[in-house]
Amino acid sequence: MSEEVLYLVFVIILFIAILAYMNIKERENNVKIIKLQNAIEDISKELHYFRKELGNKDDNEEDYKFMLLKEQMQILLEKEISAKIIPVLKSLKGMEHIIEEFQNEQQNRILNLEQKTKNMTKLTPNYDNQEQKIVELFKEGKNVEQIAKDLRIGTGKVELVLKFKQLLK
C-alpha cells in the first residue's frame, strides 16, 4: 500500500515537473516572438525614416520596392518562426502522448485497487448497523471504552445500546 502511495506521489511530482517545463518553454518562445516583432517594427520605422530622407521621388517605384522588401521579410520571418515552433509542437505532441499513456496506466491501477478493495471487504464481517457492531465487539470481550474508541462514538451511546440489548447492567 505504501509503495503504491509513494509511486502515486512520484507520478504526481513528475506530472507537475512536466507541466512546469512546458510552461517555461512556452514563456521562452513568447519572449522570442516578442523580440522578433520588435525587430520588425524597428526595421519598418527605419524604412519609413529612409523614405522621408530620400524624399518623395519616385513614390511608385519606392512603394514597389517596399512591397517586395516587405514580402521578403515576411517570408523570412515565417521560415524562422516555423523553424522554431515546429520542434516545440512535436515535443508537445510527444508529451501529450506520454501523459495519455500515464493517465491510462493510472486508471488501470485504480481499477486494480478497486478490485482489491472489493476482495478485502468480503473478508470482513458484514454488519447491518452500528448496534450489531457494538454487540459483536462486546461479545469479543472488549469493554465500553475500547468499543467507543474503535467505532469512534461516545461511551454513552455504547452503554445505551448494551443496556437496551440487556448485555450491560
Span of 60-74, 95-109, 117-131 with lowest mean pLDDT: 117-131
Span of 40-44, 59-63, 66-70 with lowest mean pLDDT: 59-63
- H/E segment holding residue 83: helix 59-123
Would you say residue 19 has pLDDT above 70?
yes
Q: Are 156 and 145 in contact (CB under 8 A)?
A: no
pTM for this one? 0.31
Phi, psi at 45, each rounded to 5° = -65, -45
Predicted confidence at residue 146, as pLDDT, reads 93
- Contacts (Cβ under 8 Å, ≥6 apart) of 77: 36, 40
Would you say residue 22 has pLDDT above 90?
yes
Average pLDDT of the chain, as a whole number: 85
